[in-house]
Every structure is written in structure tokens, then in C-alpha cells.
Amino acid sequence: MSVGTGSLVTVTATINGETRTFTVPGHRTLLDALRSELGLTGTKSSCTEGECGACTVMLDGHAVNSCLVLAAEVDGHEVVTIEGLSVDGGTDLQQAFLEHGAVQCGFCIPGQVMSAEYLLSHNPDPSVEEIRDALSGNLCRCASYNRIVEAVRQTAEKRVSTRG
């Protein structure tokens, strides 16, 4: 193996549908690479130890804490960040967050939205209890929890009824 011959890693991954290649030190987290190397600052950095959920992104369709993934690990994989959910940043779920006043300071919201989209991707009609459980890894220090849960619940109802 090539231990010691250089600790930079070249990573090629699908980021929000686009193939991107970037070079990072071995210790660089996916969170930092998204924000620094790729300019995707919608993903927020807060606790950097998997407690707060502000950095939640989808990795191969699964919600993960990007602070606990090395950028090198996503070589050959697919990442979707908050910027990848829509072109103009206005999905029905994000709109529902606004309508319910769920966005106070806003810092936790990208992570909340990603966790909620992950929930709805495999459980399209979740109960309030299931929403609370699914979002229990996303902290909101403005304590907008009830409004966030309402926004997710309403979005689920609308999506289910639209699909008929």
C-alpha cells in the first residue's frame, strides 16, 4: 500500500446530480469538503460530532451526518445536499416550513429538511410520533419543533393526496 507517499486523496463523486472531482487531505470530512472545496454552504457545520444534525445530507439515498463521513469515503458515491433538492430552493416541503413559521434563525433548517425528505422517501405518510422520532437527531435551538413537525405532516398529506 501507499501509506506515507502522500495523504491527499482525489475524489470523484456525484454531487447533486453532477460529477465532481476534488482533492482533499485524508482527514477532511464530507461536511468541510462540501462547504470549502465545493462551495455548497447550505449544509451547516455546528457540533461536528453527530449530535445536532445540522450537516445532514443524503449519501446514496440515506440520510447521514456529513461531519462523520470522510470526503474520501464518498469516492464513487452519490451525495445530495439541500442545494440539490430543487433549482430555486423552493420545494413544497421548504415552502411548508415557511408557511408554518418553522424557520426561526434558520441554521438547523437544511438538516431538518434533509432528514424530513429522507423520512418521506421511505415512509410517505408518517404519524406525528414517527416524524418526531425521525427528526430526533436534528436539534433546533429556537425550539421550533412543533412547527417543523406540522410542516412535515402537512407536506406528507399534500403529497399523498396529490398522488391520489
Question: What is the DSSP code string of 39-55?
Answer: --TTS--SSSSSSS-TT
Residue in the structure block whose three cell numbers are 432528514: 115
For other proteins, which residue of 65, 81, 112, 155 counts as binding (CB under 8 A)?
Answer: 65
Helices and strands (H and E) in the chain: how many = 5, 5
Q: Which of 16, 29, 94, 112 binds other proteins (CB under 8 A)?
A: 29
Run of H or E residues at 161: helix 145-163
Instruction: Determine phi and psi for 115, rounding to 5 degrees.
Output: -65, -40
Nearer to other proteins, 9 or 142 (CB): 9
Of residues 7-26, those binding other proteins (CB under 8 A): 7, 9, 25-26
Residue among 1, 39, 87, 164 that touches other proteins (CB under 8 A): 1
Cα–Cα distance measured from residue 77 to residue 153, given in angstroms and rounded to the nearest whole number:
30
CB 13 within 8 A of CB 79: yes
Q: How far apart are CA 124 and CA 139, in angstroms?
A: 22
- How many residues in the shown chain lie near other proteins by CB under 8 A? 37
Minimum Å distance from CB 16 to other proteins? 19
Site for other proteins in 118-157 (CB under 8 A): 118-119, 133-134, 136-138
For position 36 contacting other proteins by CB under 8 A, the verdict is no
Contact residues toward other proteins (CB under 8 A) are 1-4, 7, 9, 25-27, 29, 32, 48-51, 53, 56, 59, 62-65, 67-70, 72-73, 75, 115, 118-119, 133-134, 136-138
